[in-house]
Amino acid sequence: MAKIKSNLKGWKPGVPNVKPENRVYDYPIKTNKKPKKKDSLLFGTGGVPHSAKIKTHPSAVKRLSELGLSVYEMEFVHGVRIKPETCEEVKKEAKNTGLNITAHGPYYINLYSMEEEKIEASRKRVIDTALALHSCGGDGACFHPGFYQKRDENEVYQFILKQIDEILDYLQEQGCPCRLDPETTGKGSQFGSLSELTKMAGSLRDKNIGITMDFAHIHARTAGKENSYEEFSNQLQMVKDKLGKKGLKSMHIHLSGIAYSEKGEAHHLELSESDMNFKDLFRALIDFGVEGRVVCESPALEYDALLMQKEYRKLNGS
């Protein structure tokens, strides 16, 4: 396992600065006890869990249910490639298990590219993600909206706002009820600060839009800041101020450990090896009465999702 550049941070003190590549996650899994009271936050994985016997979306839903987890985020990394019959299988498994289904759009999305054809292709990828998610019986299509490319930030904001507004109108016309949840991004070169996305969602609040709040990305984007109870509380207050109390009751959250430099996100880390202050984050989420779904994007997937669920329940008195 190769060591990484010395300018990267994000590891917990005492943990070697090594990127977790080619690790084998086949060790025993300990599931959590059933909670004494209903969970307000539901936990799951972004992608097929390591312990799924077959690496398919339907198998992922079934396995996560067996583990006592409640969310599966389909990862359409290189394109929305899913057959109609697979969508039906996912929908059936989700109905049988009660699992929540979300989706992450392709990484090749830039709604303000310098090339018109790339803007159109990006719009199509967002639309395809929402339509596929709807076919799977899910809700909450997240995606990275775009890049500044050294242009005026307000200009980029206004253009991407227009694109998302038009996509929302198109999805409504198509009878697709899936909410669009643009995601907070991990680098300063990417459009998608918490301020920008809450402002956008607030201005479009009469339409079917939310945000995906990736706390690891926010931590990395600020090169290691935004990682205390007070800072998490300030972030949640911003959501409440822009989206109202409703914005806290159906949150789409991403969480993992993360390595970062002064320029922002480098790569994800296992939660227990990182400096991500997830315990204080859960305290803030509980104190603000947040409800919704927490998707684990750690390399350890279901192992860390169960760790999050366990810690949340402990702090929540359940």
What is the Cβ-side half-sphere exposure of residue 131, based on CA atoms within 13 angstroms?
17
Can you tell me which residue has the tokens 């490639």?
Answer: 81
The answer as to whether 197 is a domain residue is yes
The answer as to whether 26 is a domain residue is no
Q: Which two tokens stand for residue 216?
A: 């690891």
The answer as to whether 20 is a domain residue is no
The answer as to whether 16 is a domain residue is no
Phi, psi of 18 (to 5 degrees): -130, 130
Three-class SS of residue 9? Answer: strand
Q: Which two tokens stand for residue 1?
A: 């396992």
The answer as to whether 92 is a domain residue is yes
Q: One digit per residue, pLDDT tens: the chain, 318 residues? A: 456 667 899 999 999 999 988 899 999 999 999 998 999 999 999 999 999 999 999 999 999 999 999 999 999 989 999 999 999 999 999 999 999 999 999 999 999 999 999 999 999 999 999 999 999 999 999 999 999 999 999 999 999 999 999 999 999 999 999 999 999 999 999 999 999 999 999 999 999 999 999 999 999 999 999 999 999 999 999 999 999 999 999 999 999 999 999 999 999 999 999 999 999 999 999 999 999 999 999 999 999 999 999 999 999 998
d(CA 182, CA 105): 10
Phi, psi of 285 (to 5 degrees): -60, -40
The answer as to whether 184 is a domain residue is yes
The answer as to whether 21 is a domain residue is no
With residue 82 as reference, give the H or E element that holds it: none
The answer as to whether 4 is a domain residue is no
Domain that holds residue 45: 41-315
Give the pLDDT confidence of 121-139 residue by residue, as tens digits.
999 999 999 999 999 999 9
Q: Answer for the pair 44, 97: CB distance below 8 angstroms, yes or no.
A: no
Q: Write the CATH number for 163.
A: 3.20.20.150
Q: Which two tokens stand for residue 178?
A: 């899936």
Largest CA-CA distance found in the chain, in angstroms, rounded: 54
Three-class SS of residue 40? Answer: coil
Give the pLDDT confidence of 159-203 residue by residue, as tens digits.
999 999 999 999 999 999 999 999 999 999 999 999 999 999 999
Can you tell me which residue has the tokens 């025993």?
Answer: 28
Q: Which two tokens stand for residue 100?
A: 């929540």
Residue 15, Cα to own-chain centre: how many angstroms? 25
Domain total of the chain: 1
